[in-house]
Structure 1
Amino acid sequence: MVMAMVCQPTKEQPQWGDSVAGHSYKPRNKAMTYANLMNNYLNPNSVYTEEDFRHHFRMRLPVFKRLLRDVQQVNSYFRQKRDQVGRPGFSPHHKVIVALRMMAYGFPADSMDETHRMSESTCLDTLAEFCDTIVQLYKDKYLHELNQEDMDRLIHKAEDCGFLSMIG
């Protein structure tokens, strides 16, 4: 089953996606790329299993879905929009997948065009937006300085794995 790409009309002018002077337009067929992504990983009866998803993206599928929902709620960059000529832009799924792939494997931005049909500049914008949004969303819960309770938990976990005196 192929899910249709849905664009939500917005009244605001997008602050991203302006063309770069001197660059030519490349028809990247975002709708086909979105359909492939959904059929490969996110639709029922996908080509790849949830275990494959975890292996490819270094996270469980439910974590990805929560992350996707959270970033869409906080940052309008991750909502489906249309470009200046009315074509659908990249889907939120697509943007988050590209950011995760770049982080999980250290893929350079220019390599994403072949596999995900996203230009280097869009990949870099997407990664920056994703990182900023993640920090904004989760800094209070996950990105705080360690306290003694955290240190004790980490030391105990390290000792259980055989790493004695891991933390100086």
Structure 2
Amino acid sequence: MNLDYNSSSSSDDQFDDMVNNMILYNAYLEEQEDYVIQQAVQTGVAPIIETTQRRSPKKKKKIIPRDRDDANHRLMNDYFVNRPLYTEDMFRRRFRMHRPLFVRLVDAVAAQEPYFQQRPDTTGKLGASTLQKCTATLRCLPYGSESDAVDEYIKIAESTAKECLLHFVRGIRKAFTIEYLRGLQ
């Protein structure tokens, strides 16, 4: 083994150049990620928030008796029990993701945002479940549908669906920023 100590400075320079190039490329990727996230928020989340803010002034809130327990039971039987009514392919088509990813997102968001914990409402009845709140959000996001479109199946009011969306985005950022967005705040 013949070691040539005179050539080490040129290899050190090459290594330094390679490291500097990697640092520059990493900074470029981070800028691109920032741009993509900013575009996604501007095209996806911001229009939903703007439409909710443009609505007419609030009128007296009409209380609609929703059977959330039945809706939650139906949701579980349709998608999340050992032998669900709908197949994995149907789940994938409707939610645009596989069931294990969906469950991972729900668990991560529920761990980060207390909003997604099921609590009693002012009348003492349990509110919407974590799964109902996340399903409402993940039904609206991929299709860009209105927040009141989930009321018929999931039995969540339009205002609750909007709150779910805002808390869901916040929970996703808290849960996955370090892992996938390299610690961007």
TM normalised by structure 2 equals 0.64
Name whichever of 62-71 and 89-98 sits farther off: 62-71
Task: Tell me the amino acid that sits aligned with residue 31 of structure 1.
Answer: D
Instruction: Specify the alignment match of 2:127 in structure 1.
Output: 89
Task: Tell me the amino acid that sits aligned with residue 178 of structure 2.
Answer: D
1:115: how far off?
2.6
Q: How does 1:10-29 map to 2 (within 5 A)?
A: 22-29=60-67
The CA distance in 2 between the partners of 1:22 and 1:45, in whole Å, is 43
Q: Is the 8 A contact 2:108 2:171 kept in 1?
A: no
TM normalised by structure 1 equals 0.70
1:56: how far off?
0.8
Residues 67-113 of structure 1: CA deviation (Å, up to 9, x unaligned): 11111111111111111111010000001111111101111112222
Instruction: Specify the alignment match of 1:126 in structure 2.
Output: 164
Identity percentage over the alignment?
A: 33
The structure 2 residue matched to 1:77, chosen from 93, 112, 115, is 115
Instruction: Specify the alignment match of 1:136 in structure 2.
Output: 174
- Aligned residue-pair number: 126
**Contiguous gaps of at least 5 residues in structure 1:** 1-19, 146-168
Task: Tell me the amino acid that sits aligned with residue 54 of structure 1.
Answer: R
Q: How does 1:14-163 map to 2 (within 5 A)?
A: 22-144=60-182
Task: Tell me the amino acid that sits aligned with residue 29 of structure 1.
Answer: D
**Contiguous gaps of at least 5 residues in structure 2:** 1-57
RMSD: 1.6
1:144: how far off?
4.4
Larger radius of gyration: 2
1:140: how far off?
2.1
